[in-house]
Structure 1
């Protein structure tokens, strides 16, 4: 069994090991002292609406260092849970094949796009709000000779429209950040061909969960303000656009497991290395971001996979 930090129950927890690594002392004879943890960051004023690729405090969401840390956690070309091994399970309902065109929203570094293009031969366009992530994603697609089959471009999820129609859309854990989800659903429905497939994985929360302390803490510290919908509202968004919702599956346990094993792997990797302070800071920020997400999940936030088909005209 794992404890909440993902440790095995023997010896120091992941969090203790992480702080030990941060302070640069040997864990073999160490007992965690109270006050080892850094003081909480002061509350920062929040502007109304950040532009694409910026966090709620007006700073870039991504830096080269953060990308390096994310790839160490999730695998090359990935910046969210579930690397190349996980994608086939996730996209199985789509029945991808070489004749299909796919839009990958919240594409990040393009790992999901390249996995789909490489494994199934389909043509995938990755769209990503962060200019830096999109640029780095394109570099990785070029390196693998997939710049035509899996390009990564920038887009603004708050004003979504796509000029071509596609056979499938994949939106992996990105919709929960979108303030105006209705326009996003409208845009996705318009971009799908008749009989097109829509697959969304996302964080959702019922009204009673939103007041829980761990969920509030997560929402307050998340780089972009989460806009979480309950499950019924998600289902209604499909129904209102005549999209036939075939799957609404709770994949929370899988998602949580992916996060905990990634944090564990990162901590084990870090214990072998001396890193400079900016990298250490980026590591701590990334681990704390995912630890808060795990805490929110354990307090009742769910992760769902929704799959729908657009009717024939």
Structure 2
């Protein structure tokens, strides 16, 4: 049995957590002596050993203390309790620059916080006001394909909730699976399909985050979705409505995969969002998801869009998305 998402060091080397934990000798212990004393003879024993040593990527659900440490670090620098969390995806981080009374903190300075490496992701947390409403905005996110664990991918969501946010507006760039759509369209998420191959809630449950088996039937808040539709109509702005399928990446989908995704009812595809939605709902938060369709991923005549093209289209549509997000925040 192949064991995927296996991290020998306990924490991916790009994270600051291993260094921080070693420095205070409370969260990290070297697995070397255990590995010498115990030689697994079956796949199940390999998994058990990895879980005990915290080396399976999905075994990091219980990092409550790390979340609190990150929250306290941010609170020491910004005396603001956000009501709304804004996750700003590829090429969409400019909205955070519009916040007033803003405090900007690079991810690299926040204890245990994962650092963005993807193009178009600035990697900074910004606390401020948008239309006189306190918000926390994340300029960029991290992804599974960067080598991060499920817990690290949703770490910003948990920090935002710990800071006070109870409504999450999650934006992203996505490929459209419908031939009648076009690059630059905005899609309001109706539902999601988790095809990432993992889940941020796998592992021992942390009850201070939420219950063991949270429902995802109405992952996107129905009342907020209707409000967003009304706001789009008031702006005379076309807004697609669809299902987002999340994959791990970094490879783009094959032709057969695109055919399958569309047959399953997916309307757009991306490499983010789904784990963040799951984590936010686990916390009991209300969630809205909006994607900028940056290219068409259809099997009939698919043309590969590179990173820079995705960012270019996202930036070209950023003002329309930013205007809609401003209205959403103002009417909460």
| TM-score when normalising by structure 2 | 0.27
Q: Which has the higher helix share?
A: 1
| Structure with more of its chain in strand, by fraction | 2
